[in-house]
Chain A
Amino acid sequence: MAKPKVAFYWCASCGGCEEAVVDLAENILKVVEAVEFVLWPVAMDFKIKDVEALQDGEIAVSFINGSIRTGEQEHIAKLLRKKSGLVVAFGACAHIGGTPGLANFSNREIIFDYVYQKSPSLDNPGKIFPQEKTTVKEGELTLPKFYNTVFTLDQVIDVDYYLPGCAPPPDLIMNAVEAILTGNLPPKGTVLAPDKSLCDTCKRKITKPEKAVIKHIKRVHEVLIDPEKCFLDQGIICLGPATRDGCGERCINANMPCRGCFGSTSRVEDQGAKFLSALSSIIDADSEEEIKKITDSIADPAGIFYYYSLPASMLRRKFI
């Protein structure tokens, strides 16, 4: 029997998801043995026309990482959707937008203005901005359209499953690959990770006092962090209460608070709003003045509450 065909593609991402595949260690040999890669730009030399030449649905599964930032990314995502039986949004950026999604507090004009004009390390006296089409004497050159807004993968194509995380941990990747190879799949649209909050399995939970209350919000560089104690109890913002479990607490074990890369559980529509609610409930102040003083000490609430999930949030972007 022919091996199932697999594509692995990256859109607006850092390459960490590709690294996560390498983190499978010896298990990668099992995967390579079981499947045939038809597209994996970071590792192997395939051309888009090879994919175009395939029958519709011929690829068993496409793993797509990265958010959608340009027209080319949308085009290839759509092509892979057409050619694939299953599409898995791989990693936080494809799943909920990821850190590239923070660009949704800005827009194309503001980004171009800074990057191609105001950036202190730049010399662009001709005020040259990227164009989708440029005519030179050899002919016409094209660049993909840079969108105003960053999108999650499921905002541009139909997605079957989600592998969360920045990057997804090897055990969840292997579980997903095995489930796909054996056809033992959960209902469409499932996030392939546990559906409870990170605090539920956090080993610091036992140190959490009956009622966590904070008077000051501190940033990680301002204090020595107690490696045993709940971050929120130390006044450090940790997105654990509003974040899905399954990451293996990699950040917590490295004594850093959660930033929410797994997104929320299935019952929550807006991760940032839910975290805001959780944080407000442990602020220890009753007078308006004192409450304001504490909340004002959070320099960038939207940026931290939606660290990974802005494009997937209810508002999706700043209204400019």
Chain B
Amino acid sequence: MSDFEPRIVGFLCNWCSYAGADAAGSARKTYPPNVRVIRVMCTGRIDPQFVIKAFQAGADGVMILGCHPGDCHYKEGNYKALRRFHLLRKMLTQFGIEEERFRLDWVSASEADKFVETISDMVQKVKALGPLKREIAA
């Protein structure tokens, strides 16, 4: 299992977390390269279909990173994401997708260290779980 490199899709909001990721890069911080970042204008834009599509298409984990509550550029997009997240995570466990494979965290534009920690922790947890089995056998 040690050589398993998980594929993780990260949806990052443009205003906080994407800038946070940028800050981590500018500061030349190191973190695992397993997260494929997709920039969205707001976490409130993330349709549950995006997350499910990622799992269907081969992701071993999906993470959503957005502005801290109260900091949303559009006032309440992150609250919308939070509501969807809890229900979606519960539903995904019924599909056999463990809770640890789907995560939501708040990372501001200045929190380069938190970005690195969050990514590293997610990669480590998904590594421990192993690849997501998604076989559809007749």
Contact = CB atoms under 8 A, between A and B. Distances in A.
- The interface size bin for chain A is 35 or more
A309 to B, nearest CB: 13
Contacts of A319: 95-97, 132-135
Contact of A274 (B49, B69, B79, B87): B49
B55 interface: yes
Contacts of B51: 273
Given A276-B48, A302-B95, A316 B84 contact: no
B28 interface: no
Given A283-B83, A305-B91, A317 B48 contact: no
Given A269-B49, A296-B90, A315 B95 contact: yes
B81 to A, nearest CB: 9
Contacts of B80: 280-281
Interface residues of B, number: 30
Interface string A258-278: 000000000011101110110
A80 B15 CA distance: 56
B56 A276 contact: no
A280 B83 contact: yes
Interface of A: 105, 147-149, 151, 268-270, 272-274, 276-277, 279-281, 283, 285-286, 288, 291-292, 295-296, 298, 300-303, 305, 313-320
Interface of B: 47-49, 51-53, 55-56, 69, 79-80, 82-84, 86-88, 90-91, 94-97, 132-138
28 contacts: A105-B94, A148-B137, A149-B136, A268-B49, A270-B52, A272-B91, A273-B49, A276-B84, A276-B88, A277-B49, A280-B87, A280-B88, A281-B80, A283-B83, A286-B79, A291-B83, A292-B86, A295-B83, A296-B90, A300-B94, A301-B90, A301-B94, A305-B91, A315-B55, A316-B136, A318-B95, A318-B96, A319-B132
